[in-house]
Amino acid sequence: MRTTAVIPAFNEAEALPTVLAELAATLPDHEVIVVDDGSTDGTAAVARAAGATCLRLPVNLGIGGALRLGFRHALASGVDRAYQFDGDGQHDPSQVGVLLDGLDGADMVVGSRFAGNGAYRVSRSRGLAMGLLRWLVRRTTGQGFSDTSSGFRAFRRPVLELFATEYPVEYMDSVEALLLAHRRGFRLAEVPVTMRERQGGTPSTRNLRLAYHFVRVLIVLTAGMGRRPRPVAAA
């Protein structure tokens, strides 16, 4: 079974070499696609030097846009499953196996920081927003996810087919993607994983922006409510 990692990277030249080296050491038979999201620090060169496939976007599209491209490329190159992986060292390669095992009973698996393993702390406003999102997702999908915004996820090919064209491209894409997959009738699952504190950089979001996007996701949710779930084309 062919498996690929999709790593969206925006100015991650510093952290990326370690991340890629660790991945290659832990999971040597996995392909790696790095999507350089309009970086200005040589991210692409670093990725290529490490032997990864690197797609360079001419402008910064944001994580969602970068992921969509990564999924699209993974699909075109014929993989059976793919997983999202962070370029900043937050995700642990040793946990990828846990994530992929989850695909045995689901089409899409979310690795959760909060579902048991490890201790991971977030600020209060972030915690509040996450709590609200958790509640919303539970109400909409009827399924509890303890970490709706986790970017540590794995997908089977049918989900990749959906995401290659319709992955939500705005910030908070992770929540939207969860709801989209649910609406299209895919089986979702959550598995507990451990994560590390991010190794470099600051969390990309300020509170105001968080609030704005929270409202935006609410609108997306409301707009999607009346829509009947479309059947999946091919399983």
Partner 1 sequence: MTGTAHVLVAVLALAALALILRLVRMQALKAKYSVLWLTVGVVLSVAAAVPGVLDRVADEVGVAYQPALFLLLGFGFLLLLAMHFSYELSRLETRVRTLAEELALLRHEVEEREED
Region binding partner 1 by CB under 8 A among candidate stretches 47-55, 149-157, 201-209, 210-218: 47-55
Rule CB under 8 A: is residue 213 a binding residue for partner 1?
no
DSSP element (H, E) containing 211: helix 207-225
> 123-162 mask for partner 1 (x: CB under 8 A)?
----------------------------------------
Q: How far is the C-alpha of 135 from the C-alpha of 83, rounded, in Å?
A: 25
58 is a site residue for partner 1 (CB under 8 A): yes
- Applying CB under 8 A, which of residues 3, 32, 65, 195 lies at the interface with partner 1? 65
Binding status of residue 225 toward partner 1 by CB under 8 A: no
- b or e along 22-38 (b: 16 or more beta carbons within 10 Å of the residue's beta carbon)? ebbeebeebbbbbbbbb
Q: Is 7 in the site for partner 1 (CB under 8 A)?
A: no
Q: At what angle do helices 173-183 and 62-76 cross, to 10 degrees?
A: 50
69 binds partner 1 (CB under 8 A): yes
Q: Which of 128, 132, 169, 232 binds partner 1 (CB under 8 A)?
A: 169
48 DSSP 8-state letter: H
3-state secondary structure of 209: helix
Beta strands, E only, the chain: 3-9, 31-36, 53-56, 81-84, 108-112, 153-156, 188-192
Residue 35 touches partner 1, criterion: CB under 8 A: yes
φ/ψ of 36, rounded to 5, equals: -80, 110
The answer to whether residues 23 and 50 touch, using CB atoms and an 8 Å cutoff, is: no
Q: CB nearer to partner 1: give 33 or 103.
A: 33
Please identify, using beta-carbon distances, which residue of 126 and 216 lies nearer to partner 1: 216
Among the residue ranges 7-15, 66-74, 79-87, 98-106, the one whose residues contact partner 1 (CB under 8 A): 66-74
Considering only 56, 138, 184, 198, the residue that binds partner 1 (CB under 8 A) is: 56
Structure tokens given for 63: 């994580």
DSSP letter for 104, please. Answer: G
Tell me the closest approach of the beta carbon of residue 63 to partner 1, in angstroms.
13
Q: Which of 55, 100, 103, 217 binds partner 1 (CB under 8 A)?
A: 55
Q: Does 61 bind partner 1 (CB under 8 A)?
A: yes
Distance CA 146, CA 114 (A): 6
Give contact residues for partner 1 (rule: CB under 8 A): 35, 53-59, 61, 65, 68-69, 72-73, 169
